[in-house]
C-alpha cells in the first residue's frame, strides 16, 4: 500500500476531479523533484528573489527543463497607481509571498481568459534572469482574504477557531474533512456519514454563512424592508417551515437595548417552574453556539444540534440552485433552526429574544405572539437603528402586533412617546410595568437569581409577560386583563398582582451567565458582566462597587483590584472606560476577545491588538484627568481606602488566557491545566506583579464585551462548557 502523504495526494486529485473545480492549487510536500505531487506534467514557474547560489541552480534547472523562469518584482513596485496593500497575513516576509501570489494568479487568469495574449513585459538583470515587470492589480486581487477557512480569529467565531494549518490535521478523519472542503461545493449529505464528525462538520459549515448583512445602514435597511421579510419567508419555506406553523409555538417576543436577555431568562424560568416545556432562543452565545437554542433551560446537546442542523441546512442547500445560489446569513439561519427545533421538540412555548432592533429583525417574521415585551431602551447599534432614542424606539416598537398585549418598563420620555405612537399604529394594547416593590404588599422582598439593581425592572417585566401568558393559556374564557390605571401621559399603567410562590421561586432560581456573575476560585474572585453600552456599564459599575465592597469586608487582608477589558464593534470604548475609572483598579489589563493565542498572528488579530493599545491610552488619559481633581476619591465603608491619586498600572496581552494567567499569578487551579500553554512574559511585566502576589485576595472585573466574558468563562467554568 502507498504511504500516508501519497494517499492524500491521490485523494485530493480525486476530490478535485469529482467536484469539477476550475483550478487546483497544489502545495509541494517536501522538496520538489521527487515529491509525489510532481506527477503533474504541466505548470509554470515564477519565483521570488533567492540567494545567488540558489538562483544559479534554478536558472540551470529551468534551462534543462525548457521552462521560462521569472523573478517577481517587489510588492511596492505594483503600487504605482494604488495605495499600500493591506495583507490578510501579518509579517514583513508575507510581502514576497504576496508578490508571488499576484504573479501566479495573474498568469493563470491570462492563460485561462486570454489564451492568445503574450505574457507581461520582462527585463533581464545582470545575471541573465528574466525580471517580471509589475502590473496594476485589479481591485479583486487587492481585496482577497488569504486562507479564510483556516485563519479564523473573529471573537464571534470562538468555537470555530483552528490552530495553524501545520498542526491542524491530527487524525485521518480530519484529513478527510480538509479534503472534503477543498472542492467547489461542500456536500452536506455525505459528510455526516463519517463517524464522530457530524457536530464538528456542522460547526465548520456555519462559517460559510455570512455573519451580517454587510453595509446595513439605517437607510438601506428601511429601503429593503419588504424584500428582507419576503426573503426570510422564502428561506423559511425552503427549510420546510411556514409562518402558520410558527403560530403554534405560543411565542413570547422580547426586545430592548439593555436587559432583554435577562428578561427572557426570568420569563423562561418562571414558566418552566410551572411545569411547561420551554424553548428559549437568544444571542449571542458565550462559549458554544448551542447556547443560542435551549430546551427547558439547557442548551441543546451536540446530537440534537447535529440532527436538526443538517435537516435545515440540507434543505436550504438542496434548493439554493433554484434560487440563484442564495444562502441566508448566520443569524437568519439560527433563527430558522431555532423555530425548527422548537417545533420538532414540541415545546409548550418559545421565548424569542430579538437580535437587533425589532421592526426589521428576522425574528419579526412571527405573526401571532402571545405577548410582547420591551426592556430598557438606550443608544446602541446606531449604524442600523439610528442615533436618537426616538429612532431606536421606533425600531423596537416594530414587534407590536394587532391585539397582542405588550408591556414595557419605564422609558425615557421621548422613547415612551414613540412607543405609544407605534402601539396605536399597530392597534396593540401597551402597558407600563409597575415597580418590583409594588408586588410585595403581601409577600417578602424578592430574592432575584440575577444580581444588580437594574434587574428589578427586568424581573417586573418578566412577571407581567409570564402572568399574561398563563392567563391566555390557562384562562381562555377570561379575556380580560388585570386592572390598569392611566398616568398623566395617557399610558396604561399595569396594576401589580400578587405573584404565586412558583413565580417567586422562578425569579430566585434564574441563571443567566455572563451578566452580573460572580465566580469565587479560592483567593481569586471574578466579577463578570458583558456590559457594552453606556447604560449597561453604569449598572455594571454600581453592581461591582457594591458587590466587591461586600467581598472586601470579608477579606483576611489587602485586596488587589484588576480590570480586564475589551470592546468590540462600533462601541465607544473610551466612553465606557471613563465610567470605570471611579472603581480605582490597581491594574487595568486589555486583551482581544480571543480565548487562546494562535500560532500565527493575522491582520485581524493585529487590528484587535491595536485597538487594545488605543484602549490603554484612553485609560491613561482618563486617569490623568481624574488625578487633576484632588477632591475626587472613593471611600467604601468597611473596606480599604481607595484614592484617585493612586496610579493604575496597565498591560496589554494577546489573548484572554495569557491575561488571566498573569493576573492570577498561579492562584487559580482552573487555569493550571498542563494542556494550556503559558506564554512567556517580559521581566518588566513579571516585576509588576508584586502587588498581586502580596495581596490576600485578587478581585477581577471582566467587562466591556460579551465575547470577552464568554472567552473568560471558557477557561474559568470548564465544567459548564465541556
| pLDDT given at position 459 | 96
Cell of 206: 456555519
Q: pLDDT at residue 18 above 90?
A: no
For domain 517-626+646-720, the question of CATH label 3.90.1150.180 is answered with no
417 — pLDDT class (breaks 50, 70, 90): very high
Enter the C-alpha cell of residue 212.
451580517
Q: Where are the alpha helices (DSSP H) in 197-224?
A: 198-206, 218-223
- Calculate mean pLDDT across residues 686-712: 93
Rg (CA), the chain: 29
The predicted pLDDT at position 445 comes to 81
Q: How much is the pLDDT for 523?
A: 94
363 pLDDT above the threshold of 60: yes
> Per residue in 1-11, pLDDT tens?
777 678 888 88
When mean pLDDT is compared across 29-43, 181-195, 406-420, the lowest value belongs to 181-195
Distances 586 to 547, 656, 692 between C-alpha atoms, Å: 17, 19, 9
pLDDT in tens, 256-299: 998 999 999 999 999 999 999 999 999 999 999 999 999 999 99
In this structure, of 127-141, 554-568, 595-609, the range with the lowest mean pLDDT score is: 127-141
Q: Where are the alpha helices (DSSP H) in 554-689?
A: 573-580, 603-627, 656-664, 683-688
How far apart, in Å, are the Cα atoms of 56 and each of 60, 65, 67, 488? 6, 14, 14, 91
Mean pLDDT, the chain, rounded, equals: 80
- CATH homologous superfamily of 229-477+489-509 equals Mur-like, catalytic domain (3.40.1190.10)
Q: What is the pLDDT of residue 599?
A: 61
Buried b (16+ CB within 10 A) or exposed e, 375-389: bbbbbbbeebbbeeb
d(CA 7, CA 624) in angstroms, rounded, equals 63
Residues of the chain with CATH 3.40.1190.10: 229-477+489-509
Is 0.75 topped by the overall pTM? no
What's the pLDDT at 164?
35
User: Is residue 482's pLDDT more than 60?
Assistant: no
CA angle in degrees (0–180, nearest 5) for 116-119-124: 150
How many CB atoms lie under 10 A from the CB of residue 360?
22
Average pLDDT over residues 444-451: 88
pLDDT tens track for 665-676: 999 988 877 666
Give the pLDDT of residue 9. 86
CA distance 484 to 473: 21
Name the region of 644 (left: φ>0; alpha: ψ -120 to 50; beta: rest): alpha
**Residue 678 pLDDT class (50, 70, 90 cuts):** low
Domain with CATH 3.90.190.20 in the chain: 517-626+646-720
Q: Is 278 helix (H, G, I), strand (E, B) or coil?
A: strand
- 514 neighbors 529 (Cβ within 8 angstroms): yes
Task: Average the pLDDT over each of 28-32, 162-166, 282-286, 706-710 and give the range with the smallest value.
Answer: 162-166
Q: What is the pLDDT of residues 192-214, one digit of tens each?
A: 333 444 888 888 888 888 665 44
Which residue has cell 464538528? 200
Q: 401589580: which residue's cell?
A: 496
Contacts 24+ apart (CB under 8 A), 141-149: 141/102, 141/105, 141/106, 142/82, 142/85, 142/86, 144/88, 145/88, 146/87, 146/88, 146/89, 147/88, 147/89, 148/88, 149/181, 149/207
**171's grid cell:** 487524525
Residues 6+ apart with CB under 8 A from 531: 537, 539, 540, 576, 703, 704
Alpha carbon 689 to its chain's center: 31
Q: What is the pLDDT of residue 204?
A: 86
Instruction: Name, of 22-36, 258-272, 371-385, the range with top average pLDDT.
Output: 258-272
| pLDDT in the model for residue 107 | 79
Question: What pLDDT digit, counting tens, does each position of 528-558 carry?
Answer: 999 998 889 999 999 999 999 999 999 989 9
Residue 625 grid cell: 484627568
Phi, psi of 306 (to 5 degrees): -60, -45
Mean pLDDT of the 94-118 span: 72
Percent with pLDDT over 70 in the chain:
77
Q: How far apart are CA 281 and CA 197, in angstroms?
A: 25
CA–CA distance, 289 with 203 (Å, rounded to integer)? 8
Amino acid at each position: 500500500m502507498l504511504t500516508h502523504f501519497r494517499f492524500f495526494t491521490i485523494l485530493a486529485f480525486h476530490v478535485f476531479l469529482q467536484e469539477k473545480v476550475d483550478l487546483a492549487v497544489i502545495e509541494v510536500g517536501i522538496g520538489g523533484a521527487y515529491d509525489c505531487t510532481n506527477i503533474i506534467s504541466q505548470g509554470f514557474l515564477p519565483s521570488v528573489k533567492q540567494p545567488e547560489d540558489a538562483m544559479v541552480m534554478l536558472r540551470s534547472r529551468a534551462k534543462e527543463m525548457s521552462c521560462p523562469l521569472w523573478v517577481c518584482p517587489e510588492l511596492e513596485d505594483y503600487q504605482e497607481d494604488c495605495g499600500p496593500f493591506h495583507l490578510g497575513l501579518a509579517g514583513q516576509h508575507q510581502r514576497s509571498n504576496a508578490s508571488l501570489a499576484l504573479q501566479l494568479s495573474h498568469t493563470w487568469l491570462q492563460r485561462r481568459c486570454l489564451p492568445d495574449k503574450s505574457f507581461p513585459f520582462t527585463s533581464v538583470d545582470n545575471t541573465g534572469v528574466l525580471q517580471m515587470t509589475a502590473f496594476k492589480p485589479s481591485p479583486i486581487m487587492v481585496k482577497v482574504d488569504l486562507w479564510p477557512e483556516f485563519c479564523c480569529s473573529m471573537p464571534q467565531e470562538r468555537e470555530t477557531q483552528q490552530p495553524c494549518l501545520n498542526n491542524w490535521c491530527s487524525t485521518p478523519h480530519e484529513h478527510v474533512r480538509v479534503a472534503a472542503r477543498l472542492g467547489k461545493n461542500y456536500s452536506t449529505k455525505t459528510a455526516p456519514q463519517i463517524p464522530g464528525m457530524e457536530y464538528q462538520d456542522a460547526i465548520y459549515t456555519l462559517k460559510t454563512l455570512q455573519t451580517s448583512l454587510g453595509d446595513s445602514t439605517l437607510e438601506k435597511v428601511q429601503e429593503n424592508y419588504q424584500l428582507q421579510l419576503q426573503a426570510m419567508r422564502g428561506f423559511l419555506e425552503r427549510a420546510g417551515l411556514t409562518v402558520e406553523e410558527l403560530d403554534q409555538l405560543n411565542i413570547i417576543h422580547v426586545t430592548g437595548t439593555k436587559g432583554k436577555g435577562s428578561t427572557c431568562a426570568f420569563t423562561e424560568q418562571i414558566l418552566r417552574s410551572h411545569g411547561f416545556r420551554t424553548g428559549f432562543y437568544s444571542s449571542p452565545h458565550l462559549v458554544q453556539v448551542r447556547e443560542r437554542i435551549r430546551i427547558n433551560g439547557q442548551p441543546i446537546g451536540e446530537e440534537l444540534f447535529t440532527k436538526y442542523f443538517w435537516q435545515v441546512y440540507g434543505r436550504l442547500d438542496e434548493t439554493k440552485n433554484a434560487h440563484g445560489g442564495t444562502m441566508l446569513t448566520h443569524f437568519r439561519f439560527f433563527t430558522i433552526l431555532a423555530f425548527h427545533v422548537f417545533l420538532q421538540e414540541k415545546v409548550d412555548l418559545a421565548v424569542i429574544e430579538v437580535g437587533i432592533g425589532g421592526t426589521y429583525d428576522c425574528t419579526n417574521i412571527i405573526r401571532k405572539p402571545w405577548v410582547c415585551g420591551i426592556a430598557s431602551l438606550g443608544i446602541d447599534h446606531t449604524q442600523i437603528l439610528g442615533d436618537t432614542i426616538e429612532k431606536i424606539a421606533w425600531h423596537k416598537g416594530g414587534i407590536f402586533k394587532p391585539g397582542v398585549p405588550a408591556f414595557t418598563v419605564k422609558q425615557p420620555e421621548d422613547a415612551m412617546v414613540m412607543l405609544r405612537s407605534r402601539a396605536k399604529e399597530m392597534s396593540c394594547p401597551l402597558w407600563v410595568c409597575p415597580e418590583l416593590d409594588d408586588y410585595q404588599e403581601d409577600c417578602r422582598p424578592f430574592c432575584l437569581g440575577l444580581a444588580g439593581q437594574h434587574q428589578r425592572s427586568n424581573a417586573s417585566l418578566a412577571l407581567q409577560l409570564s402572568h399574561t401568558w398563563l392567563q391566555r393559556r390557562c384562562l381562555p374564557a377570561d379575556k380580560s386583563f388585570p386592572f390598569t390605571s392611566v398616568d398623566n401621559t395617557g399610558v396604561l399603567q399595569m396594576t401589580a398582582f400578587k405573584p404565586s410562590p412558583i413565580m417567586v421561586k422562578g425569579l430566585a432560581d434564574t441563571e443567566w451567565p455572563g451578566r452580573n456573575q460572580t465566580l469565587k476560585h479560592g483567593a481569586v474572585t471574578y466579577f463578570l458582566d458583558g456590559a457594552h453600552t453606556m447604560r449597561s456599564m453604569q449598572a455594571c459599575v454600581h453592581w461591582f462597587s457594591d458587590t466587591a465592597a461586600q467581598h472586601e469586608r470579608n477579606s483576611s487582608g489587602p485586596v488587589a483590584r484588576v480590570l480586564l477589558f475589551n470592546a468590540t464593534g462600533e462601541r465607544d470604548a473610551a466612553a465606557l472606560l471613563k465610567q470605570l475609572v471611579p472603581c480605582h483598579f490597581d491594574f487595568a489589563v486589555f486583551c482581544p476577545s480571543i480565548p487562546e493565542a494562535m500560532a500565527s498572528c493575522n491582520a485581524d488579530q493585529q487590528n484587535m491588538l491595536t485597538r487594545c493599545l488605543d484602549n490603554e491610552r484612553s485609560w491613561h488619559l482618563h486617569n490623568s484627568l481624574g488625578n487633576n481633581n484632588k477632591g475626587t476619591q472613593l471611600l467604601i465603608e468597611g473596606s480599604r481606602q481607595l484614592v484617585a491619586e493612586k496610579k493604575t498600572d496597565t498591560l496589554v496581552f494577546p489573548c484572554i488566557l495569557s491575561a488571566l494567567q498573569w493576573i492570577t499569578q498561579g492562584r487559580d487551579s482552573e487555569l493550571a491545566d498542563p494542556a494550556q500553554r503559558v506564554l512567556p512574559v517580559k521581566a518588566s511585566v513579571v516585576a509588576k506583579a508584586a502587588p498581586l502576589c502580596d495581596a490576600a485576595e485578587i478581585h477581577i472585573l471582566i467587562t466591556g464585551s460579551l465575547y470577552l466574558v464568554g472567552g473568560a468563562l471558557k477557561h474559568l467554568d470548564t465544567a459548564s462548557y465541556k
